[in-house]
Every structure is written in C-alpha cells, then in structure tokens.
Amino acid sequence: MKQQTHKWHVSSSTSEPSAGVFFIEGPASNWIVVRDESGFMIIDSGYPSDRPLVLESIRRLDLRPADATAMLITHGHVDHTGSAAYFSETYGTPILCAPEELAHVQGKEKHQVTLGQVIVRAWRPRVFRWMVHVIKSGALKAKPASDAQAWSAHTLKDLPGKPEAVLLPGHTPGHVAILLPEAGAIVVGDSFVSGHALSRTAGPQMLHPMFHTNPAQALAATRRLDEIDDSVVLPGHGSALHMPLADALATLRRQAPAERPRKRWRNSGHAAMKNAPDPVK
C-alpha cells in the first residue's frame, strides 16, 4: 500500500486496469468507477473525509456524480461507505448491498473493531498513526446510509459492467466480492488486501484479525473464489493486483495462519462505542 507522505492527487492515484474499470487508490481505502455505454456506477466510497476526492475522481473522467446509476457497497464499514449517505441524499443515487449486509450499511447493526482492541495496541506507532487518521477522516461522526437497499441478481445485471456478487462472510456477515465479468476483474473489498497502514508488507494478505468479525471464517470464505480465473484483482486497501486470482489466493493463504473464532463486543453496554460509527481501517 502506498504511504501517503505527500498531497493526494487524483491523476496519480487513478488507473484503468481493465477497459472501463477505474481504480482509485485513496489515501487509506479505495473506490472503483465502472463505466460502459449504459452509464457508470461506483463501488465503495472511502472515508467521509474522502468525499471531495470521490467527487473529483468522477469528474476527472468527464462524468457527473449526479448521473451515477448506483453505488455498490462491499460491506458496511465506514471506510467503504463514507460518501454513501451523501450520494443518496444529494443525488438520489441508489445505495445497494447484499441482503445479509443491509442492516449494517443502514446503521442498525455494528460489526466492527472495538475501541478497546485499538487502545491496547495504540502504543505501536503504526496503530497510533492509523488511529489518528481514522479520527481525522470523520469515522466517528459518519452518517449511515439509512436508505440503502438490498440488491438482487436481476438488479445487478442491469447495472454498468453487469456485476455479480459473491458472498464472503467473515470480515462482516454480508461482505461480498463483486465480479465484473465483462472486464475480467474482481473487486474483493476487504476479503483480502494488498496493503494496509498496519502492515509492513505489500501483496496479497489478510487484514489484521481484529478487523474481522470472524477471522477464521473470513479466510475460509476465500475458498469461494477458487473457481474464478480473473487476473485483475481490486482490493479495498493497497494497490491493484495484476495477477491471476488463484496466485493471489495462494500467496495470502501461505501467509495467513488459521484463526480461531474469538469473542467480540457487539452492541455492548459500552456507551462510547454502542452508538458510534465503526472506527475501522
């Protein structure tokens, strides 16, 4: 993952890894614009503070944000839904996610790393820097996409790129990867990444276990991708991967130890976290 040691520029952070698929590597999380003759859609939208960058990245492609046919959400963490409520309220853009993730995207459920999990690790410089970035990015005051809707296979096929969803529970209960079959690309969200502020390495890897609702399930769910032969892999964090998906999966599985399910605070009595948006990645 590129370290943001200089001012972020849309021109140097946008690539077109496959025809009509524009990958924007944001300051800390990524979003994608998919365009074809029918129009364009957006996949994920960074942190709340990334909104001006999301809008700029769309306009730079000679598109109008108001014309987006939909915004698809891989999962309900605030570093992926940061502009969803804004697009819904300002432009009437449909915000769509998996049925299993709808309550999370709407803000009715929480599936998140806890404040306690972060605080006990905050003495580590990388964790401390990440925590500061999360706070500055507006994560603690984010507005949920309360008007989000669950997609259907039929709804997806009518969108630019004719996306298909693959349910990959574990990071969150309704986390998905989004296939773009006409482009030979796959958006993997946070099922695995190619870099992260807490990681010292680049390349296919699982996020730190504290970010997953169920780390073991998250790793096991990647087996659902084994029969997909795309060679453009677009993660939620880090750079785009130009390699066969099978090779990326093999690499992350060699690196990732088997994880045991662990207890997590969820909708607990901790008032500071119960109603706060999730301070994730």
Over residues 47-101, the pLDDT tens digits come to 999 999 999 999 999 999 999 999 999 999 999 999 999 999 999 999 999 999 9
User: How many other C-beta atoms are found inside a 10 Å radius of the C-beta of residue 256?
Assistant: 18
Mean per-residue pLDDT, 12-17: 96
pLDDT band, residue 109 (cuts 50/70/90): very high
Coil/strand/helix, residue 154: helix
pLDDT for position 11: 87
pLDDT for position 77: 96
pLDDT for position 149: 98
Which of the 8 DSSP states describes residue 139?
A: G
Task: State the Cα–Cα distance between residues 143 and 85, nearest whole angstrom.
Answer: 6
User: How many other C-beta atoms are found inside a 10 Å radius of the C-beta of residue 136?
Assistant: 10
Domains and CATH numbers, the chain: 10-262 (3.60.15.10)
Mean per-residue pLDDT, 16-27: 97
Task: State the Cα–Cα distance between residues 234 and 256, nearest whole angstrom.
Answer: 19
Kindly report, residue by residue over 120-147, the tens digit of the pLDDT. 888 888 888 878 888 888 888 899 999 9
pLDDT for position 256: 67
Task: State the Cα–Cα distance between residues 119 and 72, nearest whole angstrom.
Answer: 32
